[in-house]
Amino acid sequence: MKHLKKLISFAVILVAFTTAAFAQASATSSAAATIVGPIGIANTTPMNFGNVAVSATVPGTVVLTPAGARSTTGGVTLPATTGTVAAAVFNVTGADGYTYAITLPATPTTISFGAINMTVDTFTSTPSGTGSLAGGSQTLSVGATLNVAAAQAAGTYTSATPFTVTVNYN
């Protein structure tokens, strides 16, 4: 009887392990990844507000659209001789069909003539916020607002430090 109990116990244990082995299944899978080329951006045209005339007593602004059109507020006027007027233009390149996020400067850029300064802020772009790389590239145009003081000194103002436009794949 003792041997019979041991034999039955052994049989039960053997059946339990055998059943567990038949209750599971396995499969395999391969893994893959596609590395896309990095996104790139290059400035092809620098921003230029052109010729601007100022009031001796009233400050104002020049708004330059991404399309290169200008408008004014306050004591600023635009002379008939416009000078060079251009929105900043960038060429964005990357993987065909991908979209990307556009980050414009959040802080003003200072432009100077000697020790005299003006600020450029309120940057806008076309496309705005998100672009799409049809054919692997897209033109990105950037406009902004030039803040002009009353009686701003005559001269050619330039930025010692350029402003930065950042693009990232979505």
* pLDDT, tens digit, 9 for 90 and up, residues 63-94: 999 999 999 999 999 999 999 999 999 999 99
Report the pLDDT value the prediction gives residue 39, as an integer from 0 to 100: 98
On whether the CB atoms of residues 169 and 39 are closer than 8 A, the answer is yes
Give the pLDDT confidence of 135-161 residue by residue, as tens digits.
999 999 999 999 999 999 999 999 999
Strands (E), the chain: 40-45, 48-49, 53-54, 60-64, 70-74, 76-77, 85-86, 88-93, 99-103, 109-113, 116-126, 130-132, 137-148, 166-169
Determine, yes or no, domain membership for 112.
yes
Determine, yes or no, domain membership for 23.
no
Q: What average pLDDT does this structure show over 4-16?
A: 62
How sure is the predictor about 53, in pLDDT bands with cuts at 50, 70 and 90? Answer: very high
Asked whether the predicted pLDDT for residue 51 surpasses 80, the reply is yes
Average pLDDT, the chain: 92
How sure is the predictor about 116, in pLDDT bands with cuts at 50, 70 and 90? Answer: very high
Q: How many domains does the chain have?
A: 1
On whether the CB atoms of residues 151 and 116 are closer than 8 A, the answer is no
Identity (one letter) of the amino acid at 16? A
Instruction: Name residue, tokens 């998100």.
Output: 130
Report the pLDDT value the prediction gives residue 20, as an integer from 0 to 100: 52
Nearest Cα residue to 98 out of 27, 167, 44, 22:
167
On whether the CB atoms of residues 100 and 169 are closer than 8 A, the answer is yes
Report the pLDDT value the prediction gives residue 119, as an integer from 0 to 100: 98
Report the pLDDT value the prediction gives residue 14, as an integer from 0 to 100: 57
How far apart, in whole angstroms, are the C-alpha atoms of residue 64 and residue 145? 6
Determine, yes or no, domain membership for 53.
yes
| Cα atoms in the Cβ-side hemisphere of radius 13 Å centred on 44 | 11
Report the pLDDT value the prediction gives residue 23, as an integer from 0 to 100: 81
Q: Which domain range does residue 153 map to?
A: 40-169
